[in-house]
Amino acid sequence: MSDTRLAGIGMTSARTRDRLVQRLREQGIANAAVLERIRNVPRHIFVDEALGSRAYEDTALPIGFGQTISQPFIVARMTEALLEGGALENVLEVGTGCGYQTAVLAPLVQHVHTIERIEPLITRARQRMKELGIRNVRFRHGDGSLGWKTHAPFDGILVAAAPLTVPEALLKQLKVGGRLLVPIGAEGAQHLVRFTKREQRVERESLGPVAFVPLIGGVS
């Protein structure tokens, strides 16, 4: 990919990205490393070229297969909430989509394992990571609600699609002290929830209303 495409021109330029970062800051995102990733990850290469000029609006956009790239505020909020409480070695992401969230997160942790149920999205996301020189991500085509047993336990799990109740397998694959960020609920009534695993119990905090596509069992 050419340097110009990565850097962006016009509506995808540095100034446009600065405006997005400023807006996220005003909305309460405080983690400087997360804001720096939002500034540096070229979101326009994750969407269709025709939508490139809208890539730095704080909105979800279609990526094909009936799925969307997450809204930058949500990506920032989830990443920040996952990182609160210390450095992370081994993170599981469920719902790779186009890989934008993966690209924001990966350089902030040691390893990312990411699962997506729609195979062509994995192929595309893998290609984007290569273009960005991100090498600490392992991809899998599968049902992420079952977790990824062979690479568990995880100290962070981030779910980008909403189940009706928390998948037990994900809680099971969390280390003690680990955090699971997951939107829970039916469409139109979802909350972002952070579970923190303790020795004898699991803490649950609600981080406010959100809107995600549903988590679907099986693969496609």
Contacting residues toward ligand SAH, per CB under 6 A: 67-70, 94-95, 97-98, 100-101, 115-118, 121, 143-145, 160-161, 213, 215-217
SS3 153: coil
Closest residue by Cα to residue 111 from 143, 133, 89: 89
Taking the complex as a whole, the smallest distance from the CB of residue 66 to ligand SAH amounts, in Å, to: 8
Q: Which is nearer to ligand SAH, 11 or 216 (CB)?
A: 216
- Greatest alpha-carbon span in the chain: 53
Active-site residue, from 2, 13, 53, 70: 70
| Residue 70 among the catalytic residues | yes
Whole-angstrom Cα distance, residue 209 to residue 4?
37
Closest residue by Cα to residue 166 from 188, 145, 189: 145
Whole-angstrom Cα distance, residue 195 to residue 177?
10
Whole-angstrom Cα distance, residue 26 to residue 116?
32
Taking the complex as a whole, the smallest distance from the CB of residue 127 to ligand SAH amounts, in Å, to: 14
Whole-angstrom Cα distance, residue 52 to residue 9?
10
Q: What residues are labeled active site? A: 70
